[in-house]
Structure 1
Amino acid sequence: MPAAAAKLGEVLGDRHILLIIDDAWREQDLRPFLQGARYTTRLVTTRIDSVLPDNAIRQPVPAEDVAKERLNFEKLAQRLGEWAQLLKIVNGFLLAIASSIIVSECQRR
């Protein structure tokens, strides 16, 4: 695993990238993604606060907000007729918006 972590850091290099690590459960699984790549911003989602490094900036999301947003996305999927291509296009659009918000938040801090 250390070789894979080193290779990932090497591939990311000095590029400015947003790396999203979703649903981290164990610190040892997250660790390889935190090595190298000094200009990479990492967004980690987890339900377990102790998984995150001590210096991580935390943004708690209340469970009721998650449930509300899930319902909103389900309604959107229904409005789009649950067509895979339309959902993919909208997903890309929402990801672009979320990424720009996250990057601007990180730059402000």
Structure 2
Amino acid sequence: MALVTNEQVIKALRNYNPWWRNPSAAKEEDRPQHRVAYHETLRIMQHKTIRRFAVLSGARRVGKTTILYQIINHLIDNGVNPRNIFYATFDNPVLKMAGVDMVLSAYDSMYPVEG
């Protein structure tokens, strides 16, 4: 028997990704100042010939999530389908118990990535 259900994972993901329902929802968490890490992360993500992940790491409470919301807003403002933007934190006990594979599978079952 699974520790968490697919429905619990989907509920958590919907809470973490309000732009799936309302594309302007991430703007509520946005800040007007963009730090160097924001620009560097965008540069890495938008590189045309090298496909890779951009990893933001750092101590707690230094602004990693703020930078992610700024990037999410940038992507939505530049035409990326909000349902192709996925955010999850494994500090959440439901997602932590579910594990990466189950979380990604739940997301894919909700919104298969387009484009």
Q: TM-score, normalised by structure 2?
A: 0.32
User: Which structure: greater strand fraction?
Assistant: 1
> Which structure would you say has the larger Rg?
1
